[in-house]
Amino acid sequence: MAYDDSRGPDSDKTAVHEVPPLELEEAARSAALICISGRSIGQMFLITQEETTVGRAPECDIFLDDEGVSRHHAKVIRQGETLIVMDLGSTNGTYVDGERVQVLTLEDGLKIQVGTATILQFRFQDEREVEFHTLMQTFKTHDPMTDALNKRAFGLELEKEVGFAKRHHQALSLVLFDLDHFKRVNDTYGHQAGDLVLRSVAKRVTETMRKEDIFARYGGEEFALLLRSTESEKAFIVGERVRRAIESMEVAHNGRRIPCTTSVGVAELTDEMQRPEDLVEAADERLYQAKKKGRNRTESALFD
């Protein structure tokens, strides 16, 4: 590197480096579908299996939240280095670069339209591109403060899980919890302390939840935990575990301990609930009861 001692931060001169060329290894590239239009825009789906299903059904490998997409719309078949897209008798068809197809071998850059609004672009991605898209997807779906899912991403997951639970007659429960007197924490200890509490809560919950559970920051100081294959009795136990874990946290800021408690509402999906929002409303009602009864408690329909 050539370096000029007179060069400072405000200098117009640029340091000269020997920049090695990027090494593009075809063998290291990964096949992927990248959503460039529709509700899943920006999302990357790596194609790693011999068959990858695409559709509106939650059990599909690539789930697309688009009412114009059939439940089982298409699939991508991998045969060595060759990838083929096949329509599965969808209602609105599968189009590649504007032409309706039944079966087609994919080439890098082709655009696949499924339904009325969703377009997926087929690309071979190198390691840097995969890392970039993964990072961008994290920015889109996760809360930067706590690294939990954000409310929008959680809403999509909730819709998938409710649909799956109803079709397969499986239990599904939701735990909503809201930190007690959080405004008082900000007013007394400062907003940096409040941020520390939020991060500490998310970390503690993540440590206690199962791998298959879905955790989100639902609002300012409100969080949600969606429990697959979990009936109300076990969900109540989870809610109590969360409450006790938060109550026992040791959070200190500038040498001062910050007391933390939370109010918890628990609800299980029932046959009467037709919309994902119905489950949220049921859990929210229990959360309201917990606050009304003095906070730092867990409420569920179990005790009605």
Q: Which of 12-21, 194-203, 227-236, 279-288 has the lowest mean pLDDT?
A: 12-21
Instruction: Give the pLDDT score at 131.
Output: 80
pLDDT average, residue stretch 170-195: 96
- What is the domain class of 151-303 according to CATH? alpha beta
Using the predicted structure, report yes or no on whether residue 42 has a pLDDT greater than 80.
Answer: yes
pLDDT digits (tens, 9 = 90+) for 71-91: 999 999 999 889 999 999 999
Domain 26-141: assigned CATH number = 2.60.200.20
Predicted confidence band of residue 3 (pLDDT cuts 50, 70, 90): very low
pLDDT average, residue stretch 18-35: 70
Instruction: Give the pLDDT score at 92.
Output: 96
Q: CB-hemisphere CA count at 13 Å for 109?
A: 0
The closest of 269, 274, 235, 30 to 134, measured between CA atoms, is 30
Instruction: Give the pLDDT score at 40.
Output: 84
Between CA 226 and CA 211 the distance in angstroms is 11
Question: pTM for the full model?
Answer: 0.72
Instruction: Give the pLDDT score at 28.
Output: 63
Instruction: Give the pLDDT score at 6.
Output: 52
Domain positions in the chain: 26-141, 151-303
How much is the mean pLDDT over the chain?
90
pLDDT digits (tens, 9 = 90+) for 232-289: 999 999 999 999 999 999 899 999 999 999 999 999 999 999 899 999 999 999 999 9
